Amino acid sequence: MKKSILITGGAGFIGSHVVREFVTKYPAYQIINLDALTYAGNLENLKDIENRSNYTFVKGDITDAAHIFALFNEYKPDGVIHLAAESHVDRSITDPSAFVTTNVIGTVNLLNAAKEIWKDNYQGKRFHHVSTDEVYGALGDTGLFTEDTKYDPHSPYSASKASSDHFVRAYHDTYGLPIVLTNCSNNYGPNHFPEKLIPLCIHNILNNKSLPIYGDGKYTRDWLFVIDHAKAINLVFHKGKNGDSYNVGGFNEWQNIDLVKELCKQVDEKLGRPKGTSAKLITFVKDRPGHDLRYAIDASKINKELGYKPSVTFEEGLSKTIDWFLSNQAWLDNVTSGDYQKYYDKQYS
Ligand code: NAD
Ligand code: TYD
């Protein structure tokens, strides 16, 4: 019988790349994409694979426990790759409750359903929880997050993800549920919703709007190309050790201001504009409350144990990302119509 894998949040930014990775590489798996299609979910992200015979889309909300149980009974997944979440820090500052409901309660609903359906036999089963490096809190100017770094989340988003990580481990420790976790750094790439720094700046450059840099712009993030994250998830899902966590990152730290300047430079070159055109749009704005100074991942465990290495350099990944946005302006126009404008005005006015 075909192995069936349930991927949650597969219509979102990272989830759509994970779905594509599995649907195209594993014809012998049946991939079920469960997504509520919130503002961040978009089936356009999966147009190229939607008719594949090993792919099924189900619209559903992970906070609806009864529906989740019914789905697990219907599809009897052998594996779960859980990405569905509220994912934006700024939105978590405005409305923390939605993050608790989806990220914590939604995760527990999935764990309960997996535990129930797999209860007689855990053989060949796996619950892969996709999480973030933000659970570790903030670093100073030096040091890296390892898998042993103590959790110290600061934003409502990272607190909700930390809580969900703890629940996943608790189900392993208490009930023996087979699990793996990945904690990844900031992703960028095609299909990125333009509320996050990189796609927001690309969208604003194309519309000649200011590029809002929080505080002094010296905040630092480690950036990984989204397709390399999808490959890491594939590797850990298949080869990771039961019960273990793996940090995923690119050893690629950038201060926000330098990153946005690099982005401006590349966009100007691609559009044949004079040097410095886009950088003139950079505007320093009020800081994010509780803004974490620096995230940086030590990804040596996944490298040493599973042989993982990102496939592109940051310059290549950024170039591919800009090219994708330049060739998909209809996608960008579509996701920035309607409610996006209200969100943007409220967040940046
Ligand atoms: P996203 O916001 O782009 O997508 C989230 C997806 O989840 C959307 O398709 C949305 O419709 C769906 N969703 C939201 N609430 C749901 C619910 N209640 N029921 C079912 N589906 C629901 O997020 P993303 O950036 O693709 O992140 C995916 C996962 O990876 C998240 O768990 C996030 O915490 C984690 N992560 C993200 C990053 C990053 O840089 N974006 C880095 C590390 C980890
Ligand atoms: P973001 O893309 O929201 O990801 P995260 O908060 O998960 O790291 O932000 C990346 C960095 O960019 C972070 O330090 C906040 C900063 N930032 C800005 O300076 N301006 C913006 O408009 C946004 C959205 C983010």
Cα of 196 to ligand 2 centre, how many Å? 6
Per-residue pLDDT tens over the stretch 112-168:
999 999 997 899 999 999 999 999 999 999 999 999 999 999 999 999 999 999 999
Atom of ligand 1 nearest to the CA of 182: 44
Return the pLDDT at 55. Answer: 98
* Residue pair 116/71 in contact by the 8 Å Cβ criterion: no
Cα of 17 to ligand 1 centre, how many Å? 12
Return the pLDDT at 269. Answer: 98
What residue ranges do the domains of the chain occupy?
Answer: 3-192+225-252+295-314
Cα of 79 to ligand 1 centre, how many Å? 18
CA–CA dist 103, 158 (Å, integer)? 10
Cα of 47 to ligand 2 centre, how many Å? 28
Q: What is the mean pLDDT of residues 284-306?
A: 98
| Residue of 197, 204, 205 to mutate, ligand 2, most atoms within 8 A of C-beta | 197
Give 144-182 as a 3 state SS string.
CECCCCCCCCCCHHHHHHHHHHHHHHHHHHHHCCCEEEE
Per the prediction, the chain carries an average pLDDT of 97
How many residues make up the chain in this entry? Answer: 349
Nearest Cα residue to atom 5 of ligand 2: 89
Per-residue pLDDT tens over the stretch 40-83:
999 999 999 999 999 999 999 999 999 999 999 999 999 999 99
Per-residue pLDDT tens over the stretch 217-258:
999 999 999 999 999 999 999 999 999 999 999 899 999 999
Return the pLDDT at 204. Answer: 98
pTM of the model: 0.99
* Strand, coil or helix: 59: strand
Superfamily for domain range 3-192+225-252+295-314: NAD(P)-binding Rossmann-like Domain (3.40.50.720)
Per-residue pLDDT tens over the stretch 177-186:
999 999 999 9
CB distance 87 to ligand 2 below 6 Å: no
The ligand placed nearest to the CA atom of residue 87 is: 1
pLDDT at 2 over 90: no
Instruction: Estimate to the nearest angstrom the gap between the alpha carbon of 132 and the chain centroid.
Output: 8
Return the pLDDT at 120. Answer: 73
Nearest Cα residue to atom 29 of ligand 1: 83
CB distance 214 to ligand 2 below 6 Å: yes
Per-residue pLDDT tens over the stretch 302-340:
999 999 999 999 999 999 999 999 999 999 999 999 899
Nearest Cα residue to atom 1 of ligand 1: 12
pLDDT at 1 over 80: no
Atom of ligand 1 nearest to the CA of 63: 18
